[in-house]
Structure 1
Amino acid sequence: MLTRLLSPLVHLFYPHCCELCGTDLPATGDLLCLRCWQALPVTGFHRYPDNPVANIFNGRVTVQQATATYYYTQSSGVQQLIHRFKYRQRPDIAVSLGKQTGYQLSESTWIHNIDYLVPVPLFPHKEKLRGYNQATQLANGIAQVISLPVYPKILSRLQFTATQTRKGRAARWQNVAAAFRVNGNQVNGSHVLLIDDVITTGATTEACCAALVHAGAKVSVCCVAFAWS
C-alpha cells in the first residue's frame, strides 16, 4: 500500500524517460515510448528462410535458420541503443531488446526446434572489464519470452581479437578464425540458437557456428541487428 502511494511521488522527482526521445514514461520499466518502439526498423527476417542474414552463410557453414530483429542504421535509434548496452553499462537495454526479439521469434515455426540459446562469448578479460556479456543479456531477454534455457558457457573465446568495426570480410575472418572453442560434448545432437548483437559480414558468427557444427550441433543464428557490409 505504501509503495503504491509513494510511487507517483518518486516518479515526479525521478521521471522515467524514453531512451531515444526523452518523453516522460509511466513508471512501468518501459525502455521506449510507443512511438519510438514503432519507429525501430523491424526486418521481419524470421518469417523468410531466404533472407540477407541467412545468405551470409551460404557455401561457408551450415546454418539451419538465421535472422536479425532490426536494421542497424544511425537514423533509427538502433545504433544508439546498442552503443549504450555495449559501452555505457546498460545491460537492461540488451534484455529489453532481447524480449522484443523473443516476441518476433515466437511468431516463427522453426523456433520450436531449438533446444537452447548459446550467446557469442567475450574474451574473459573484456567481459570482466565490461561487467557482463551483452550477448548473454540479449539471450536472457529472449529466454523470458520463448522459455528456452540459456547456456553461456558452451562456447569459450580463446583469443583476444581487435575490434572488427573497420575490417573487411577477409580480415575479420582471419581475426577470429581460431578464436572459439566448444566446451564438453553437450551440443552433440542438439539444435542451438546462437545469439549476438550485430551481424555485418558474419565472420565472428561464422567462426562460432563452425566450432558448434564441428562439435555435432545443428546451429541457427539470431542477432538483434543487421548492418549492411
Structure 2
Amino acid sequence: MFTSLLSPLVHLFYPHCCEVCGTDLPQTEELLCLRCMQALPATNFHRHANNPVALIFNGRALVQQATAAYYYSQSSGLQQLIHQFKYRQRPDIANWLGKQMGYMLKESTWLSTIDCIVPVPLFPRKEKLRGYNQATLLANGIAHVTQLPVQPKALSRQQFTSTQTKKGRTGRWQNVADAFQANDTSICNRHLLLVDDVITTGATTEACCNALLQAGAQVSVCCLAFSYS
C-alpha cells in the first residue's frame, strides 16, 4: 500500500516521458507513448522469405533467413532512438528495442530452427569507449523474449574499421572484408541468428556471415532497421 501511495509522488518529481515526443507516460507504458509506438515503421519482413533484406545476400552469402524489424526512418523517431543508444549512453533503449524484435521473431515460422544468437561485435577499443556493444544489447532483448542463448564471444572483430556511413557499396565491402573471425568451435553445425542494429548494403553483415559459415555454422540474420540509402 505504501508503494502505491509513493508512486504518484515519484512520478511527479521524476516524470516518465516518451523518448520520442516527450509526452508524459502512464506507468503502464515503458519508453514510448502509444502513438509513437504505432508510428515505428515495422517491415513484417520476418513473415516473407524473399524480402528486401534477404535479397541483399543473394549470390553473396549463404544465409538461411534474413529480416529487419523496422525501416530506418527519421519521421518515426527510430533514428532518434538509435542515436540515443549508440551515442547517448542509453543501453535500456537498445534492450527494449531488442525485445520488440523478439516479439516479431516469435511470429516467424523459422525461429524454432535457431540454436543461439550471435551479436555483430565491435572492435574492443570502440566497445570499451562506448561501454557496451549495442548489438549485444539487442541480442539480449531478443533472448529475453525467445529464451534463446546469446554467444557474444562467438565472433570477434580483428581489425579496427572506420565508419561505414559515408562509404559507397564497394568501399563498405573493402572496409570490412577480413575484419571478423569466428572464435567458438561449438558453433559448427549450429544455426545462428546474427544480430545487428542497421543494415544498408549488408557489407558488415556479409563479412560476419562468411566468417561464421567458414566455421561450419548455418546463419540467419536479424537487424533492428533496414536503410535504403
Same fold? TM cut 0.5: yes
Q: Distance in 1 between matches of 2:158 and 2:100?
A: 31
What are the Cα deviations for residues 86-119 of structure 1, in whole angstroms up to 9, with x where unaligned? 0000010001111111110000110000000000
Aligned to 2:188: 188
TM-score (ref. length: structure 2): 0.98
- Name the amino acid aligned to 1:41: P
Q: Distance in 1 between matches of 2:100 and 2:184?
A: 31
- Deviation (angstroms), 1:75: 1.3
1:16 is paired with a residue of what secondary structure?
coil
Q: Distance in 1 between matches of 2:27 and 2:121?
A: 33
- Deviation (angstroms), 1:184: 2.8
- Deviation (angstroms), 1:55: 0.4
- Deviation (angstroms), 1:172: 0.5
2:150 is paired with a residue of what secondary structure?
coil
Q: Distance in 2 between matches of 1:48 and 1:157?
A: 31
Aligned to 1:89: 89
Are 1:26 and 2:18 matched, yes or no? no
Length, aligned pairs only: 229
Aligned to 1:219: 219
- Deviation (angstroms), 1:154: 0.4
- Name the amino acid aligned to 2:140: N
Are 1:145 and 2:150 matched, yes or no? no
Aligned to 1:40: 40
Q: Distance in 2 between matches of 1:106 and 1:149?
A: 15
Q: Distance in 1 between matches of 2:184 and 2:111?
A: 24
- Deviation (angstroms), 1:68: 0.2
Does the 8 A contact of 2:193 with 2:222 survive in 1? yes
What are the Cα deviations for residues 144-174 of structure 1, in whole angstroms up to 9, with x where unaligned? 1111011100001011100000001110111
- Name the amino acid aligned to 1:145: V
Are 1:98 and 2:98 matched, yes or no? yes
Identity, % of aligned positions: 74
1:108 is paired with a residue of what secondary structure?
coil
- Deviation (angstroms), 1:7: 1.3
- Name the amino acid aligned to 2:2: L
2:225 is paired with a residue of what secondary structure?
strand
Q: Distance in 1 between matches of 2:129 and 2:3?
A: 36
Does the 8 A contact of 2:153 with 2:184 survive in 1? no
Q: Distance in 2 between matches of 1:182 and 1:123?
A: 14
Q: Distance in 1 between matches of 2:135 and 2:72?
A: 16
> Which consecutive unaligned segments of at least 5 residues does structure 2 have?
none
- Deviation (angstroms), 1:29: 6.1
Q: Distance in 2 between matches of 1:86 and 1:3?
A: 34
- Deviation (angstroms), 1:3: 2.6
Write the mapping of 1:44-193 to structure 2, written as runs, cut at 5 A: 44-193=44-193
- Name the amino acid aligned to 2:24: D
Does the 8 A contact of 2:115 with 2:192 survive in 1? yes
TM-score (ref. length: structure 1): 0.98
Aligned to 1:9: 9
Q: Distance in 2 between matches of 1:135 and 1:145?
A: 16
Task: Detail structure 1 runs of 4+ shifted over 6 Å in the superposition.
Answer: none
- Deviation (angstroms), 1:140: 0.6
- Name the amino acid aligned to 1:157: R
Does the 8 A contact of 1:15 with 1:27 survive in 2? no
- Name the amino acid aligned to 1:112: S
- Deviation (angstroms), 1:5: 2.1
What are the Cα deviations for residues 50-70 of structure 1, in whole angstroms up to 9, with x where unaligned? 000000000011000000000
Q: Distance in 2 between matches of 1:29 and 1:151?
A: 30
